C-alpha cells in the first residue's frame, strides 16, 4: 500500500454551540495533501460551521485544529469554552488557507485586480509588481483578465466568484476552503465556477468543499463526507458513497436533492 | 432705489470677516472629526457623550465653556488659560465638541453598514485588525458616511455664526455690528446670507467631487486605472 | 447650589421654571408655524409644475443654508425697524420693538418649516401608490382619500422625522434669547450674570434642555408605537 500524502489539515473533536443549540457535536476530519473533500448535508447539519471553525472565523468551543502540522493554540475562557490564544498565529495560519465564500465577499471599493493583489501585497508583504504579475496570471486562469479594472458591482455573480477564487489562490494556500461556492449563483452561472474548481482539483490542490452540487461531489472529489445534525453520518470515496456504501439517510438525502446538474 | 454703494461696501466688510468664519469652520471640522473617531473607539462613554451634546443647544455649551470655565482658579492658573481665555479658541472648542457628537453618530451608522462578509474575507486572508481597519473597514465606512457628513459640514458652517455671541468677529458678528449702527437690516442680512449660501454651495460641490472620485465606476478607456491611486493619502485627508 | 435654585425670593428656581415654560411654548408655536409652512413647501416640491418645484427647492436651500441667528436678526431688527417706521407714519415716537415671542416663533418656525417639508415629502413618497389606487378604484372622493388614507399614513411615516425637527426647534429656541425674551437660555444668562456663578447656571440650563429632549424622545417613541400598533398586531397574528 502506497504511503499516504502528508496531512495538511486536521480537526479533532470539534464542538460548537450557538447559545443553547449545539451545532457541532464532536467532529473530526483530516485532509491529506491533494485531497478534494466534498462535505454534504442538509441545512443546519453544521457543515458551514465546521469550515468556519477551521480558519477560526468561528471559534470552536472545544477541539483542536492544526494546519500543516501546526496546532492552533487555544486558551480556556473563564466560562469554560475556549478562545484563540495567539492572534498572530491565527493570522499567519489563515494566510495559509484560502477561503471562497458563498456570497463572494469581494471588496467593493477595489477593482478586480486590486482585490487579487490585496492579500499578497499587504498581508504577505510581497513586492507589488510581483503581486500584479501573479494576479494577472491567475485572472487569466479563471478567464477574467479582461475585466481586471472593473469593480465587483459591474460583474455577474459567476464572474465575481471566479475573481474570489483567484483572490484565494493568490495567497498560495496549502488548503482551500469553499463554503457553498455556487449556492448564491443563478443556475446558468454555476457551470463556469465548477469548471475552475475542477481544474484546481486536477492540479492537485487540497480542497475542502461544502456544497450541494452532487455532480462535483461525485465526479471531482476523492472523498465525500455526509454530515447530519452536527456529526459525520458517513464518509468514503464517491464510488462507495454513491454506490451501496452510503447510509440510508444519505441515500434519502441524495434522492431529495436530485436536480439537473451542470456537467462538470 | 437699491443702494449699490452700501451693498458693496457691506459685502466687502463682511468678506473681510470671512477668514474668521472659515478658520472656525476648518478648525472645528478637523478637531471634531478626530474627536469623533476617538469617541467611537470609547464606545461605553460614546452614548452618553452623544446624548448630552446633541440634546442641548450649542449656545449654552458655548457659554458654559467661555464664561463658565474662567470661573475656576485651577483653570485660570493652568497652562491652558492663554488659550481658554480667547473667545476664538473657546468657540472652536465648543464647535468641535458639538460636531464630534453628530459626526460620531454618523460614523457609527456607517460602521454598521459595512458588509460583514467583506470583513470576513479580509480576516480569512490573515489580515490583522489594524490592516482590516485601514484597508477594508475605513474606506467602505467613509463612502457610506459621505452624504450625511456633507449635511453635517453645512450645519457646522451655520453653527460658526454663534461665535459672534462671544465677541468673535466672524461674518455674523460684523453683520450684527453694521445692523446696529445703520439699522439697514434687510441689506446687511442679504449680503451676509449670500456669503453663507455661497460657502454652502462650495462645500456641496466639494463633497460631490469627493463622492465622484470615490465611487467605483469603471472608466471605459483603458488607462492605468485612476483607481490605482485609490485611497491615496490626499483622499484620506479630505475626510 | 441647591439654595440658588430654590423657589423662595432668593432662589432662581421660579425664574428657571417659568422660562422653561416659555421655551416650550415658543418651540411649540414654531413647530405649528413650521407644520403649516412645511406642508406647503412639501406640496410645492411634489408638484408637477417645474416653476412651483423650483420655488419649493429655493425655500429649502435658503432656510436650511442660512444661520438661524441671522434669520432671527432679520426678523427681530428688521421687524422692529419696519414697525418703528410704520409707527412714525402714525406719529409715534422712538423705537418700537417687534413682539419677541411672535418674531421668535415666526423665525424658528420658518426654519423648522424647511426641515419639516423634507419630512412630509419623504413620508408622502413612502406611501405605497397602490393604497391610493385602491381607494380611487372603489370610487372614494379625493377629499376622503386624503382624510382617511393619506393623512393617517403620512402622519405615521412622518413621526420619527418630526421627533428630530422638534428637538431642533427646542434647541434653536435658545437663540431667540438675543431678542431679550426670557426663555430658558436668557434666564440662565440672567441668573449667571447676577450671581457671577456662570458655570452652575449654564450647567443647570443645559440640564433642563437635556431633560426636555429626553422626555420629548420618550413621548415621540410612545406615539410611534401607538400609531404603529395596527401594523404590529397584524404581523403578530401571522406568527
- Beta-strand pair A74-76/A82-84: antiparallel
In chain A, residues with a C-beta closer than 8 Å to the C-beta of B222 are 149
Cα four-point dihedral sign A19, A20, A26, A27: negative
Helix, strand or coil, per DSSP, at residue A66: strand
**B56–chain C Cβ distance below 8 A for any pair:** yes
A65 CB-near residues (< 8 Å, 6+ apart)? A10, A11, A12, A14, A53, A54, A56, A71, A72
Q: A with C: 3 or more CB pairs under 8 Å?
A: no
Using alpha carbons only, give the angle C220, C222, C226 rounded to the nearest 5 degrees: 115
For residue A140, give the C-alpha cell: 487569466
**B126–A95: do the CB atoms touch at under 8 Å?**
yes
Out of C67, C74, C213, name the one closest to residue B158 (CB).
C67
DSSP string, A204-253: T-EEEEE---HHHHHHT-SEEEEEETTEEEEEE-HHHIIIIIS-HHHHHH
**C70–B58: do the CB atoms touch at under 8 Å?**
no
Number of C-beta neighbours around residue C23 at 10 A: 29
- Beta-strand pair A97-100/A175-179: parallel
Of C73, C104, C78, nearest in space to B174 by CA: C73
Task: Please state, in angstroms and as integers, the Cα–Cα distance from residue A177 to each residue in A11, A47, B11, C166, following that order.
Answer: 13, 12, 67, 53
In chain A, residues with a C-beta closer than 8 Å to the C-beta of B216 are 108-111, 151-153
Name the one residue in this structure whose C-alpha cell is 431688527: C77
CA Rg, chain C, in Å? 22
- How many Å apart are CA A208 and CA A187, to the nearest integer? 22
In chain B, residues with a C-beta closer than 8 Å to the C-beta of A169 are none
Cα four-point dihedral sign A119, A124, A128, A131: negative
Instruction: Look at residue C237 in the predicted model and tell me its pLDDT.
Output: 43
In chain B, residues with a C-beta closer than 8 Å to the C-beta of C62 are 193, 197
Question: How many CA atoms within 13 Å lie on the side-chain side of B115?
Answer: 12
Instruction: Look at residue A52 in the predicted model and tell me its pLDDT.
Output: 93
**A103–B222: do the CB atoms touch at under 8 Å?**
no
Question: What DSSP character marks residue B167?
Answer: T
- How many Å apart are CA A161 and CA A192, to the nearest integer? 10
Cα four-point dihedral sign A28, A33, A35, A36: positive
Interface residues of chain C, partner chain B, Cβ below 8 Å: 61-62, 64-70, 73-74, 77-78, 81, 167, 170-175, 177-178, 185, 188-189, 192, 196-199, 202-203, 205-206, 209-210, 213-214
Number of C-beta neighbours around residue C214 at 10 A: 12
Residue B155's closest chain C neighbor by CA?
A: C65
For residue A150, give the C-alpha cell: 472593473
Interface partners of B (3+ CB pairs, < 8 Å)?
Answer: A, C
Which of 196-235 (B) contact C at CB < 8 A? 196-197, 200
* % of chain B with per-residue pLDDT over 70: 90
Number of C-beta neighbours around residue A189 at 10 A: 19
Residue B183's closest chain C neighbor by CA?
A: C81
Instruction: Look at residue A102 in the predicted model and tell me its pLDDT.
Output: 93
Is 80 exceeded by the pLDDT of residue C61? yes
Span of B230-234, C88-92, C115-119, C128-132 with lowest mean pLDDT: B230-234
Out of C61, C70, C202, name the one closest to residue B175 (CB).
C70
**B125–A113: do the CB atoms touch at under 8 Å?**
no
A124 CB-near residues (< 8 Å, 6+ apart)? A95, A171
**Buried b vs exposed e over C25-36: b needs ≥16 C-beta within 10 Å?**
ebbebbbebbbe
- Site from B125, B137, B140, B235 to mutate, A interface, most A CB atoms within 10 angstroms: B125
Helix, strand or coil, per DSSP, at residue C39: helix
In chain C, residues with a C-beta closer than 8 Å to the C-beta of B101 are none
Mean pLDDT by 10 residues, chain A (264 residues): 77 91 92 93 89 91 88 78 84 91 93 94 93 95 93 93 95 93 91 93 93 90 92 91 86 78 55
Instruction: Look at residue A262 in the predicted model and tell me its pLDDT.
Output: 56
- How many Å apart are CA C33 and CA C41, to the nearest integer? 12
- How many Å apart are CA C109 and CA C165, to the nearest integer? 11
Instruction: Look at residue C231 in the predicted model and tell me its pLDDT.
Output: 54
Residue B134's closest chain A neighbor by CA?
A: A122
For residue A64, the cross-strand partners are: A12
Mean pLDDT by 10 residues, chain B (239 residues): 84 93 96 93 87 95 93 84 89 96 93 93 93 93 90 95 95 92 87 94 93 71 42 42
For residue A65, the cross-strand partners are: A11
Name the one residue in this structure whose C-alpha cell is 501546526: A70
What distance in Å separates residue C197's CA from the closest CA in chain B?
8
- pLDDT tier at C98 (50, 70, 90 boundaries)? confident
What distance in Å separates residue B229's CA from the closest CA in chain A?
11
- pLDDT tier at C5 (50, 70, 90 boundaries)? low
In chain A, residues with a C-beta closer than 8 Å to the C-beta of B228 are 114
Instruction: Look at residue A260 in the predicted model and tell me its pLDDT.
Output: 53
- How many Å apart are CA C49 and CA C51, to the nearest integer? 6
Interface partners of C (3+ CB pairs, < 8 Å)?
Answer: B
pLDDT tens digits, C216-226: 999 999 988 88
Question: What DSSP character marks residue C220?
Answer: H
Q: For residue C92, give the H/E element and its range.
A: none
- How many Å apart are CA A63 and CA A13, to the nearest integer? 5
Interhelix angle for C151-172 vs C13-45, to 10°? 130
Name the one residue in this structure whose C-alpha cell is 429632549: C213
Residue C72's closest chain B neighbor by CA?
A: B189
Residue C114 or C81, more confident: C114
- How many Å apart are CA A220 and CA A214, to the nearest integer? 10
Burial level of C121, CB count in 10 A (0-12/13-18/19+)? buried
Interface partners of A (3+ CB pairs, < 8 Å)?
Answer: B
Q: Are C73 and C178 in contact (CB under 8 A)?
A: yes
Question: What DSSP character marks residue B223?
Answer: S
For residue B155, give the C-alpha cell: 450645519
pLDDT tens digits, B85-117: 899 999 999 999 999 999 999 999 999 999 999
Main-chain phi, psi angles of A97, to 5 degrees: -110, 145
In chain B, residues with a C-beta closer than 8 Å to the C-beta of A107 are 118, 121-122, 136, 140
Number of C-beta neighbours around residue C227 at 10 A: 15
Using alpha carbons only, give the angle A11, A17, A21 rounded to the nearest 5 degrees: 140
Of A62, A82, A173, nearest in space to A123 by CA: A173
Instruction: Look at residue A147 in the predicted model and tell me its pLDDT.
Output: 93
Out of B61, B63, B192, name the one closest to residue C70 (CB).
B192
**C67–B69: do the CB atoms touch at under 8 Å?**
no
**B227–chain A Cβ distance below 8 A for any pair:** yes
**B217–chain A Cβ distance below 8 A for any pair:** yes
What distance in Å separates residue B203's CA from the closest CA in chain C?
11
- How many Å apart are CA A148 and CA B84, to the nearest integer? 55
- How many Å apart are CA B207 and CA B219, to the nearest integer? 21
Instruction: Look at residue B227 in the predicted model and tell me its pLDDT.
Output: 45
DSSP string, A130-171: HHHHHHHHHHHHTT-GGGTTS-GGGS-HHHHHHHHHHHHHTT
**B226–chain A Cβ distance below 8 A for any pair:** no
Helix, strand or coil, per DSSP, at residue C102: helix
Q: Checking phi first, is residue B164 left (phi over 0); if not, alpha (psi -120 to 50) or beta?
A: alpha
Instruction: Look at residue C10 in the predicted model and tell me its pLDDT.
Output: 58
Instruction: Look at residue B51 in the predicted model and tell me its pLDDT.
Output: 92
Give the helix ranges, DSSP H, for chain B. 4-16, 18-41, 43-55, 58-63, 73-76, 81-84, 87-113, 116-124, 129-132, 138-159, 171-182, 185-214, 233-238
Q: Are C108 and C26 in contact (CB under 8 A)?
A: yes
Of B97, B214, B205, nearest in space to B156 by CA: B97
Instruction: Look at residue C59 in the predicted model and tell me its pLDDT.
Output: 95
**B197–C77: do the CB atoms touch at under 8 Å?**
no
Out of A57, A108, A171, name the one closest to residue B118 (CB).
A108
Residue C95 or A183, more confident: A183
**B126–A113: do the CB atoms touch at under 8 Å?**
no
**B115–A105: do the CB atoms touch at under 8 Å?**
yes
Query: How many CB pairs below 8 A link A and B?
Result: 93
- How many Å apart are CA A244 and CA A226, to the nearest integer? 14
B177 CB-near residues (< 8 Å, 6+ apart)? B169
Amino acid at each position: 500500500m502506497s504511503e499516504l500524502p502528508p496531512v495538511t489539515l486536521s480537526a479533532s473533536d470539534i464542538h460548537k454551540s450557538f447559545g443553547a443549540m449545539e451545532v457541532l457535536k464532536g467532529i473530526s476530519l483530516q485532509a491529506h495533501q491533494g485531497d478534494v473533500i466534498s462535505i454534504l448535508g442538509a441545512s443546519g447539519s453544521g457543515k458551514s460551521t465546521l469550515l468556519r471553525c477551521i480558519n477560526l472565523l468561528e471559534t470552536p468551543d472545544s477541539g483542536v485544529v492544526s494546519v500543516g502540522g501546526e496546532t492552533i493554540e487555544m486558551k480556556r475562557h473563564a466560562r469554560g469554552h475556549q478562545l484563540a490564544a495567539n492572534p498572530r498565529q491565527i493570522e499567519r495560519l489563515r494566510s495559509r488557507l484560502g477561503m471562497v465564500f458563498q456570497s463572494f465577499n469581494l471588496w467593493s471599493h477595489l477593482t478586480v485586480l486590486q482585490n487579487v493583489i490585496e492579500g499578497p501585497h499587504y498581508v504577505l508583504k510581497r513586492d507589488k509588481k510581483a503581486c500584479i504579475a501573479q494576479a494577472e496570471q491567475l485572472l487569466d486562469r479563471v478567464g477574467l483578465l479582461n475585466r481586471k479594472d472593473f469593480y465587483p458591482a459591474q460583474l455577474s455573480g459567476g464572474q465575481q466568484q471566479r475573481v474570489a477564487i483567484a483572490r484565494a489562490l493568490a495567497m498560495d494556500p496549502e488548503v482551500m476552503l469553499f463554503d457553498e461556492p455556487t449556492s448564491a449563483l443563478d443556475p446558468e452561472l454555476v457551470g463556469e465556477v465548477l469548471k475552475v474548481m475542477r481544474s484546481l482539483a486536477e492540479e492537485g490542490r487540497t480542497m475542502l468543499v461544502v456544497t450541494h452540487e452532487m455532480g462535483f461531489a461525485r465526479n471531482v472529489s476523492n472523498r465525500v463526507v455526509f454530515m447530519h445534525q452536527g456529526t459525520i453520518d458517513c464518509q468514503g470515496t464517491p464510488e462507495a458513497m454513491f454506490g451501496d456504501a452510503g447510509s440510508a439517510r444519505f441515500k434519502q438525502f441524495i434522492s431529495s436533492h436530485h436536480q439537473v446538474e451542470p456537467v462538470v | 432705489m437699491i443702494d449699490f454703494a452700501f451693498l458693496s461696501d457691506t459685502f466687502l466688510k463682511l468678506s473681510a470677516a470671512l477668514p474668521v468664519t472659515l478658520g472656525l469652520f476648518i478648525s472645528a471640522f478637523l478637531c471634531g472629526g478626530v474627536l469623533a473617531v476617538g469617541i467611537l473607539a470609547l464606545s461605553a462613554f460614546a452614548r452618553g457623550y452623544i446624548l448630552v451634546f446633541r440634546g442641548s443647544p450649542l449656545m449654552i455649551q458655548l457659554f458654559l465653556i467661555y464664561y463658565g470655565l474662567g470661573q475656576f482658579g485651577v483653570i485660570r492658573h493652568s497652562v491652558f488659560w492663554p488659550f481658554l481665555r480667547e473667545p476664538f479658541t473657546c468657540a472652536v472648542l465648543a464647535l468641535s465638541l458639538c460636531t464630534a457628537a453628530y459626526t460620531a453618530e454618523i460614523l457609527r451608522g456607517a460602521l454598521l453598514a459595512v458588509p460583514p462578509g467583506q470583513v470576513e474575507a479580509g480576516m480569512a486572508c490573515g489580515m490583522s485588525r489594524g490592516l482590516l481597519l485601514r484597508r477594508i473597514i475605513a474606506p467602505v465606512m467613509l463612502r457610506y458616511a459621505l452624504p450625511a457628513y456633507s449635511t453635517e459640514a453645512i450645519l457646522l458652517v451655520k453653527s460658526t455664526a454663534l461665535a459672534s455671541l462671544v465677541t468673535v468677529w466672524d461674518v455674523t458678528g460684523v453683520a450684527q455690528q453694521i445692523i446696529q449702527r445703520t439699522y439697514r437690516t434687510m441689506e446687511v442680512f442679504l449680503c451676509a446670507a449670500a456669503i453663507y449660501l455661497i460657502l454652502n454651495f462650495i462645500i456641496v460641490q466639494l463633497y460631490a467631487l469627493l463622492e465622484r472620485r470615490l465611487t467605483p465606476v469603471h472608466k471605459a478607456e483603458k488607462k492605468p486605472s485612476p483607481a490605482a491611486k485609490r485611497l491615496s493619502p490626499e483622499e484620506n485627508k479630505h475626510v | 447650589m441647591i439654595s440658588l435654585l430654590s423657589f423662595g425670593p432668593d432662589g432662581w428656581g421660579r425664574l428657571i421654571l417659568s422660562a422653561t415654560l416659555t421655551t416650550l411654548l415658543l418651540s411649540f408655536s414654531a413647530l405649528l408655524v413650521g407644520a403649516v409652512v412645511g406642508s406647503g413647501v412639501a406640496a410645492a416640491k411634489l408638484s408637477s409644475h417645474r416653476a412651483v418645484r423650483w420655488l419649493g427647492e429655493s425655500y429649502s436651500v435658503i432656510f436650511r443654508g442660512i444661520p438661524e441667528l441671522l434669520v432671527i436678526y432679520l426678523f427681530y431688527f428688521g421687524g422692529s425697524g419696519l414697525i418703528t417706521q410704520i409707527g412714525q407714519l402714525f406719529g409715534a415716537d422712538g423705537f418700537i420693538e417687534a413682539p419677541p415671542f411672535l418674531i421668535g416663533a415666526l423665525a424658528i418656525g420658518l426654519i423648522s418649516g424647511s426641515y419639516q417639508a423634507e419630512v412630509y415629502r419623504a413620508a408622502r413618497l413612502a406611501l405605497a401608490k397602490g393604497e391610493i389606487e385602491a381607494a380611487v378604484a372603489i370610487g372614494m372622493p379625493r377629499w376622503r382619500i386624503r382624510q382617511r388614507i393619506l393623512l393617517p399614513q403620512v402622519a405615521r411615516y412622518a413621526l420619527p422625522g418630526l421627533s428630530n425637527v422638534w428637538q431642533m426647534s427646542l434647541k434653536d429656541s435658545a437663540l431667540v434669547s438675543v431678542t431679550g425674551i426670557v426663555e430658558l437660555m436668557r434666564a440662565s444668562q440672567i441668573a449667571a450674570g447676577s450671581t457671577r456663578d456662570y458655570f452652575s447656571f449654564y450647567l443647570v440650563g443645559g440640564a433642563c434642555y437635556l431633560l426636555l429632549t429626553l422626555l420629548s424622545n420618550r413621548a415621540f417613541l410612545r406615539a410611534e408605537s401607538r400609531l404603529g400598533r395596527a401594523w404590529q398586531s397584524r404581523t403578530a397574528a401571522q406568527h
